[in-house]
Amino acid sequence: MSLRRLGLTASFAAMGGVAFVLAAAPAMAREEGMWTFNNFPIALVNQKYGTNIDQAWLDNLRSASVRLNGCSASFVSGEGLILTNHHCVLSCVQELSTAENDYVQNGWMPATREEEKTCLGQTAEVLTDIIDVTDRVLAAGQGLTGAEFTQARNAETAKIQQENCNGDPKLTCQVISFYRGGQYALYKFRKYDDVRLVFAPELQAAFFGGDPDNFNFPRYALDAAFLRAYEDGKPVETPNHLVWNSSAPAEGDVTFVVGNPGSTSRLLTMSQLEWTRDQQLPITLIQGSELRGRMLAYAATSAEAKRVATDPIFGLENSFKVWYGQNQALLDPAFMAKKREEEAALRAAVDADPALKQRIGDPWSELAQIQSVARELYLPYRQLEQGAGSRSTLYSIGRAIVRTGKAREAGRVSDAQMAQFGQRVSADLPIDAGLEEVYLGFWLSKTREYLTVDNPQVKALLGNESPEALADRLVSTTRLADPAFRAQVATMTPAEMAAADPLLAFILANDDAAAAIGARWNNEVTAPTAQAAERVAQARFAVYGTNQYPDATFSLRISYGQVQGWTYRGVEVPAFTYIGGLYERATGSEPFNLAPSFAAAEDRVNKQAVYNFVSTNDIIGGNSGSPVVNAKGEVIGAAFDGNIHSLGGSYGYDAALNRTVTVSTAAITEALRTVYRQPHLLAELGVE
């Protein structure tokens, strides 16, 4: 669960080539960095670890690496077999389950390749080219501000993508920002959109220890699963795959993690960090906690409520721990003092160079000014627009229908886009009315609480109803749970929509106000932030050179490190756990109960086999499923978590404490052999 990217981008689009060259960085912790493949510090690593990394080694790793929806993965056989985490395929396992066969609980392990089933919506993307497009993107926004700036940039980005991928369904082209706008690159991928589920263990084996153990170590989780890429109904041939090494590494061994870290904020300025610490994260934590409490109590009301709420609760609890860990980092005075020093040094260097100063101006003060605007706008923006509807699927699809309808009425939607949208809204969606009421009641009640009863938008939202009664009414009267109805209303005009469905009517009645606060946020916060941040990035390049790694942007990165435990407050945490430890930790009570297959295999399993291990690699959410490879480039595990200290990794890396948590190929091999008895998979992996 842990390292899955929080929140996914809506869509991607497409070209090919080679990119910018970077050069030399300021005070960086050893082993810090989520490096792009065109700027990896090869010489430094070879020198430090005695490795023999070269461009071919990197190219092979890149070609074997796979980007999934919100996760990372790798090819581990020549026939398109993909290793990732169980939590990256959990929703697929759930969708494949039926009343008779609960594969979440029992695991998914078809006997033949013919029984491998497609995970709907899942894509597998392999990065093929990186092309620098910085100049084009920067030129597009030149001299513009606010909405014009954003529109011009978006238009140029779409154009670059279109030029490079040309609508080819086998390609993805995506312009990605690096260094907070310091550079832009077109990432081009080979895309596979028939991805099938090959093997998933029991949830209780994959997620043993549940939320209490999440982001903690020692750990005993078989958070691994296999997918397979298909094309034209056949497994894809993948000669560039990683060799499966089923031996565990030793303490101190060098490790590389390759994947798509989702988002870090290490290049934010002090004023941005302070706003995050003082407003965004506290509200997010406080509201998230109350929702968590409501969901936990809802799950306790019936067996069915528990079943449908379990996954959403895991998701929220995972996010909660991330926010909490981020906030702890920002509340650490020593951490913030270091950030403050770094910023002061950069600003002093700019001030000392009149030409540079002339070019850069003072983006730090501009960003501080933007934060005071953010402080004013954030609560209404969060409640009315960004977080409107909380986690309600009905609300979110309803809003998409409303906004598409409005755009269509304004002539801004092509027939092709409309066809695509119609497909999207008519796809099956798991909707639980009880949970929907929890989400909507929570959102409406918090909106009234934070914006107050006397706020005009709050009055417009609630009318004479209580938040709970309104939520109940909307959920019980809307027909948006029906895919056919969604397809039908999606083609209506807004006025027809309002007449056709109470939830659409409700969304429409409040949508102008919501869109207005969204526009203010974009024009007064997002756009000027982008412009100022670009100049901070340029200052950093000018002062420190380009030998730095950029913030994570769910684009392919490689980090280096070594297998190593850590010591915190005098307590030493060893680098490895062993399968035997699982049986010692099991209490019989959820979430510390043994998966049945593991319980049954206790007498024959190799308890000395390494189960999970930690290494100093620098990772973040989105790295879930990342292959962990040794110096030879062989896969030795799948990263699935960070330790609790790694959560501060959003803002900075501490080599003494930050750790990646990996499920070893040794454990996966042992489980396939002894616990789940999957000889055909072992054979495909080249084991025995």
Q: How far apart are CA 237 and CA 242, in angstroms?
A: 13
The answer to whether 215 and 607 have CB atoms below 8 angstroms apart is no
- Report in angstroms how near the CB of residue 605 gets to a copy of itself at its nearest: 22
Query: Which one, 330 or 609, has the nearer CB to a copy of itself?
Result: 330
The CA-based angle 353-357-359, given to 5 degrees, is 125
Please tell me whether residue 337 binds a copy of itself under the rule CB under 8 A.
no
What residues form DSSP beta bridges with 395?
A: none
User: Are 523 and 146 in contact, with CB atoms under 8 Å apart?
Assistant: yes
Question: Which of 13, 152, 296, 418 is in the footprint of a copy of itself by CB under 8 A?
Answer: 296
CA separation for the pair 261, 120 (Å, rounded): 23
Number of residues this chain uses to bind a copy of itself (CB under 8 A)? 51
Which secondary structure element, helix H or strand E, spans residue 350, and what is its range?
Answer: helix 333-351
Q: Of 385-414, which residues contact a copy of itself (CB under 8 A)? A: none
Burial 637-654 (b: 16+ CB within 10 A, else e): bbbbbbbbbbbbbbbbbb
469 binds a copy of itself (CB under 8 A): yes
Candidates 50, 143, 456, 463; binder of a copy of itself (CB under 8 A) is 463
In the complex with a copy of itself, the residue whose CB is nearer, 491 or 510, is 510
User: Which H or E run contains 211?
Assistant: helix 210-213
Give min distance, CB of 586 to a copy of itself, in A: 9
DSSP state of 13: B
218 vs 622 by CB, closer to a copy of itself:
218
Asked if 353 touches a copy of itself (CB under 8 A), the answer is no
454 binds a copy of itself (CB under 8 A): yes
CB of 491 to a copy of itself, least distance (A): 35
Q: List the x/- string, 207-226, binding to a copy of itself by CB under 8 A.
A: --x-xxx--x-x--------
Q: Is 287 in the site for a copy of itself (CB under 8 A)?
A: yes
Question: What are the residues whose beta carbons fall under 8 Å from the beta carbon of 422, sequence distance 6 or more?
Answer: 487, 490, 491
Tokens (6 digits) for 652: 């900075």
Residue 289 interacts with a copy of itself (CB under 8 A)? yes
Q: According to CB under 8 A, which one of 113, 159, 294, 479 is a site residue for a copy of itself?
A: 294
What are 84's strand-pairing partners? Answer: 225
Q: How far is the CB of 611 from a copy of itself (least distance, A)?
A: 16
Nearer of residues 469 and 600 to a copy of itself, judged by Cβ: 469
Q: Which residue(s) pair with 568 in the sheet?
A: 571
What gap in Å lies between CA 46 and CA 54, rounded to an integer? 9
- Taking the complex as a whole, the smallest distance from the CB of residue 566 to a copy of itself amounts, in Å, to 14
Site for a copy of itself in 566-605 (CB under 8 A): 569, 587-592
Of 7, 17, 121, 293, the residue at the interface with a copy of itself (CB under 8 A) is 293
Nearer to a copy of itself, 64 or 458 (CB): 458
CA–CA dist 681, 669 (Å, integer): 9
Picking from 216, 122, 175, 64, the residue whose alpha carbon sits closest to that of residue 642 is 216
Among residues 363, 431, 354, 449, the alpha carbon closest in space to that of 395 is found at 431
- Of the candidates 9, 154, 301, 423, which one interacts with a copy of itself according to CB under 8 A? 301
Measured CA to CA in angstroms, residue 384 lies from 100, 290, 486, 504 at distances of 42, 18, 23, 16
CB-CB contact of 77 with 684 (8 Å): yes
Rule CB under 8 A: say whether 319 interacts with a copy of itself.
no
Task: Tell me: does residue 324 bind a copy of itself (CB under 8 A).
Answer: yes
* Interface with a copy of itself, residue 142, by CB under 8 A: no
Q: Considering the rule CB under 8 A, would residue 465 count as an interface residue with a copy of itself? A: yes
Task: Write out the residues near a copy of itself by the rule CB under 8 A.
Answer: 209, 211-213, 216, 218, 274, 278-279, 282, 285-287, 289-298, 300-301, 324, 327, 331, 333, 376, 438, 442, 448-449, 452-454, 462-466, 468-469, 569, 587-592
